[in-house]
Structure 1
Amino acid sequence: MAESFPLHEACRDGKIDRVRELLQEQPELCLTKDLDSRYPIHWACSFQHEAIVDLLLHQMKKVDLDDLLDDSGWSALHIACSVGNLELVTKLMNHTIKPDVNLQTSQGVTGLHLACSKQHFSVARYLVDNGASTRIKDSRSQLPLHRAASVGSIPLVKLLCDQKSPVNVKDIQGWTPLFHALAEGQGDVAVLLVLEYNAEYKDIQDVSGKYPIDVVPDDKVKEYFLKNVQ
């Protein structure tokens, strides 16, 4: 007989009355993992059911949210950052036991990495304002700036660089954020990194000996970049 996880299902489906009923009957359910290794608050955050998150947090006043991780090391805060819901991020950060804003998943990823990947600027700014480090590397040795450059977000790149993110740090393939910007055709971001934040482009190579200009897939982007940085 398959295991039943009624609270997890109610949190996923947004059934707040059912959540309230289950929490009254069996409050310990909020601290159980389902077959996906997720806790109820993971599902409530994934589907952005803010009122249900409020109920769960009230029930878990003495619980450290950093202890409620799925098998990939994701906390509720990681999920809220990934979906880009600033209201949820704020609720979680204001929990009675404040979560670690720099907590890393099993892949070394922080909430700031996730917010940058999805271009959630307001979330990223909130995280930085609340102590998120711009200097933490994930398992691929990438900073949040590598991700912001890759997706071509000028506001995020400025935010991170102005918060002292290193600009010329290489990831495991020897790519700096500039490499990622150029490889993705993000000419404006590439020019910004060089002109405003002193990204190196002439004397830096990746592990295969390529220079940043060598990874540009588009001649127009290459021409635009060289015209504006030389």
Structure 2
Amino acid sequence: MNHIKKIVLLILGLGFLGCTGTRPEEKQALLISASYHGDIETVNRLIAEGVDVNARMGKDGIFALQAAANQNQIAVAEALLNAGADIHLLSSTLWSAMAEACYEGHINIVYLLVEHGVNLEQKVTSNISTVLSIAASQGHADIVSYLLQKGANVNDPDKDGWTALHYAVRNESLETAKILIVNNANINAKDKAGKSPFMLAAQSANVEMLTYLQSQKADISAKDKAGGNALFYACGGGNIENVKFLLEAGLDINSRDKNLWTPLAVAVKQGQFSIVKYLIEKGAEIDPPDTTGWTPLFHACREGHYEIAKYLVEKGANINRTSIHQVTPLMLAAHEGNLDIVKMLVEKGANVHAKDEDGWKAIDSARAAKHTHIVNYLKQF
């Protein structure tokens, strides 16, 4: 982790490295730096002098065993453990030596720590994760396999409900995902937002992961707590191959979540033009309103996606549709300063005199947002 390198550099900057002073903090700093750099001679000397091997330093509270694990310094780690280093000590950011080894992929350090009795179920990091999830998050399949052999809980979630499989899928590590599933990972586990590994795969650029998860009986129709299915994630993620795969697998192109958003609305908001075109070509509704009365065109106008807005209008989107607050796409474009969209809408027949529920026109929205260039353009109408 970069935070360890930064603190070691701080130690160097303070002039502690190579110091011969007697202050405990100087020697503790030197021990951490020597552990990081693999200076076993200095480490052994400091241990013999009685330096606290569990001392923590810096804002992040790093310690010698953590520094050694981060840099794969096996001899140093063993010396520290034999000198009484606390194998479960946590930094101020809740990182342990085992967490460092699993994150960095240092399997020999992992072997050493397991031999010394490390608790594989200790919760670490700000996410309150297991070391299995940390290894999975980095795609370290060898460490994941070893930890499972040693009894790590394959389905233990972090504070957000993510399991090791969630992390492996997000990392797009197919090998790691396969190992976890073979070892009984819950393929349909949901986090606190209702998101499953399959949804994460849909959001990624890896259609091979989607194919594999489907072959292992993942629930492709599962919905998150907002009511969105994997197609919503694919449309937001931008991989058109995933979108094609999911539609061919039977997901409804006009699916609605709890706010009545559709996959098309998600694709439009995220600026995924190729997906927008594909969905419409495959029969997606152009103007499905959500609970606020917004259609996909509203999102294009607000986000400034000119080409998408133009395409939607050309395909028949209603440019004068109003939201439940009587807001029009033109008002949104004006408020956000999107002059190219404003001009296009006006040229296509948008009503420049339409008023929202507060009596504001598009020009008023532009004026309130201090978009003088749009105010000047709309004055002529």
Shorter-chain TM-score: what band?
Answer: 0.7 to 0.9
Match of 1:87 among 176, 193, 208: 208
1:153 Cα deviation after fit: 2.7
Aligned counterpart, 2:245: 126
The 1:10/1:94 distance shift into structure 2, 3 A limit, reads same
Contact 1:46 1:80 in 2 (8 A): yes
Alignment pair present for 1:200 and 2:321: no
Matches of 2:308 and 2:137, distance apart in 1: 38
Unmatched tracts of structure 2, length 5 or more: 1-87, 91-120, 123-129, 351-381
Match of 1:181 among 291, 300, 315: 300
Contact 2:181 2:187 in 1 (8 A): no
Structure with bigger RCO (C-alpha 8 Å, 6+ apart):
1
- AA matched with 2:142: D
1:64 Cα deviation after fit: 6.1
RMSD: 2.3
Alignment pair present for 1:108 and 2:227: yes
The 1:213/1:75 distance shift into structure 2, 3 A limit, reads same
Runs of 4+ with >6 A deviation: none
Alignment pair present for 1:39 and 2:137: no
State the SS of the aligned residue for 2:246: helix
Give the structure-2-normalised TM-score.
Answer: 0.53
Aligned counterpart, 1:65: 187
- AA matched with 1:78: M
Identical positions, percent: 24
Q: Please list, as runs of the form range in 1=range in 2, the aligned pairs for 1:12-27 lying within 5 A after superposition.
A: 12-26=137-151
1:228 Cα deviation after fit: 5.3
1:139 Cα deviation after fit: 2.9
Matches of 1:169 and 1:220, distance apart in 2: 24
State the SS of the aligned residue for 1:152: coil
Deviation digits for residues 197-220 of structure 1 (CA, Å, limit 9, x no counterpart) = x22223x21011122222213222
Q: How many residues align?
A: 222
Aligned counterpart, 1:11: 136
The 1:182/1:36 distance shift into structure 2, 3 A limit, reads closer
Give the structure-1-normalised TM-score.
Answer: 0.85
Unmatched tracts of structure 1, length 5 or more: none
State the SS of the aligned residue for 2:160: coil
Contact 1:181 1:187 in 2 (8 A): yes
Aligned counterpart, 1:49: 173
Aligned counterpart, 2:291: 172
The structure with more radius of gyration? 2
Deviation digits for residues 89-108 of structure 1 (CA, Å, limit 9, x no counterpart) = 2221221x2x2322111111
Match of 1:222 among 321, 342, 347: 342
The 1:229/1:49 distance shift into structure 2, 3 A limit, reads farther
Contact 2:300 2:309 in 1 (8 A): yes
1:84 Cα deviation after fit: 2.9
Alignment pair present for 1:139 and 2:258: yes
- AA matched with 1:50: L
Matches of 1:86 and 1:226, distance apart in 2: 41
Matches of 2:348 and 2:243, distance apart in 1: 29
